[in-house]
Amino acid sequence: MNMRRYVAKDMRECLRQIREHQGPDAVILSTRKVDDGVEVVAAIDFELASVEPGGAPSAAPMAADYATTADPEAADTLAALAARSEVADEPGVNLQSELRSLRRLLEGQLATLAWNDLTRRAPVQAEVLRGLTRLGLASDVAASIAAELPAHLDFSQAEQRARAILTHKVPVGDDRWLTRGGRIAFVGPTGVGKSTAIAKLAARRVLEHGPAGVALVSTDGVRFGAQEQIQNLGRLLGVPAFAADHPRELERVLAGLEGTPLVLIDTAGTGQRDPRLSAKIGAIAGAHPQIEVALVLSASAQAGAAEEVIARFSAVRLAACVVTKVDEATSLGGTLSALIRARLPIAWVSEGQRIPEDLTPARAHQLVVRAVTLAERSGASVDEDLLQRRYGALAHALA
């Protein structure tokens, strides 16, 4: 087990360090307040190395660390586990899986105790965590919001404040593409609404400024009808439309559009697991020094999908994103959490198929209100077990 102790001025900073050092799979074993902030002990999963003879000594500091926490029983149990791994000279899968299940059991029990303790000592914060979890927010985002709450608020004040903190965290962009222009390539999985978003933006621009000063480019030479779609849109709006099947052609087309303020570039909906994804996006991004790459992200995708899509499409620097299909989403918390973590600004929000009505510049408070409405409408409830598992380990630092 790779275990580390982190001390930082607040919970948020601690969680950031843990993510940085140990990655998203780190498990938080204990938290407590210390003089200069909070102390968190986190670990990543057991690995063979930790039960091999050479790896055993690393288990000792783990027990010692734990002994400093408030729970003497936990310290004893972990010390016993550490001792076992030291004497194990024939490391086996059995010991490893035994350690795993013991740890899970222990974690579960500690989390239950800690969560129950939190609901007694800090009922308002516990209730806020419950509310934020109901919105579908990821645990680190919810915990960092709860940790920022000032003391002595009643529940409704705390709930208001929590939503204000969340609003503040949601990264939003501006509508500069329409007001100032740019060369924007829209990337993202197939069917998320890239071409529709381009049609809406182009139509808005034409309605506000007339057809001069906007051009469309399709780099989607693969999908049947993709080029025609952009050509038709161009005809409909009275703006020039170009096809560019290869990065060279894109370079050439963009070079010819130097005097056009707004160029919207449609790309093929690349499969997220396509091994050439990075190279393809890289080639598009490299076709002109001023290209901005915008990720199009569907809010109706299943929970956790946003995180993966962002990771996959981050081969180049993403300037902003467009969140689509908000009208079909059943929860917004997962998407918002992923964007908060990635610090990827949301520039536009699409909530329907109508062109151009259903596209609006992103407003953080509207997205948060929407997340709350969706949670209320779906009657989403949060089970106690989930809360214990998620926040039990953080309870010491929060109360």
- Cα distances from 192 to residues 211, 216, 297, 325, in angstroms, run 26, 19, 6, 8
* Spatial contact of 185 and 209, defined as CB atoms under 8 Å apart: no
Q: Is 169 in the site for ligand GDP (CB under 6 A)?
A: no
The helix/strand/coil state of 28 is: strand
Tell me the site size for ligand GDP, rule CB under 6 A: 17
The helix/strand/coil state of 255 is: helix
Shortest distance in whole angstroms from residue 200 CB to ligand GDP: 8
Nearer to Mg ion, 77 or 219 (CB): 219
- In this chain, which stretch among 106-114, 192-200, 293-301, 328-336 interacts with Mg ion, using CB under 5 A? 192-200
d(CA 367, CA 345): 13
Chain position carrying tokens 């993709």: 226
Residue whose Cβ sits closest to Mg ion: 195
Binding mask 255-294 for ligand GDP (x = CB under 6 A): --------------x-------------------------
Q: Is 196 in the site for Mg ion (CB under 5 A)?
A: no
Shortest distance in whole angstroms from residue 327 CB to ligand GDP: 5
* Spatial contact of 261 and 286, defined as CB atoms under 8 Å apart: no
Q: Is 324 in the site for Mg ion (CB under 5 A)?
A: no
Q: Is 335 in the site for ligand GDP (CB under 6 A)?
A: no
- Cα distances from 28 to residues 57, 111, 162, 166, 259, in angstroms, run 21, 10, 23, 23, 55
d(CA 84, CA 123): 39
Nearer to ligand GDP, 116 or 360 (CB): 360
Q: Helices marked H in the chain — which ranges?
A: 11-22, 48-51, 59-67, 72-87, 93-121, 123-134, 139-148, 155-169, 176-179, 194-209, 226-237, 247-255, 277-285, 305-312, 333-342, 364-378, 384-391, 395-398
For Mg ion, which residue of 77, 195, 298, 337 counts as binding (CB under 5 A)?
195
Q: Is 270 in the site for Mg ion (CB under 5 A)?
A: no
Shortest distance in whole angstroms from residue 320 CB to Mg ion: 18
Q: Is 325 in the site for ligand GDP (CB under 6 A)?
A: yes
- In this chain, which stretch among 89-97, 109-117, 188-196, 251-259 interacts with Mg ion, using CB under 5 A? 188-196
Q: Is 337 in the site for Mg ion (CB under 5 A)?
A: no
Rg (CA), the chain: 25
Residues 183-242 that bind ligand GDP (CB under 6 A): 190-196
Q: Under the rule (CB under 6 A), what is the footprint of ligand GDP?
A: 190-196, 269, 324-325, 327-328, 350-353, 358
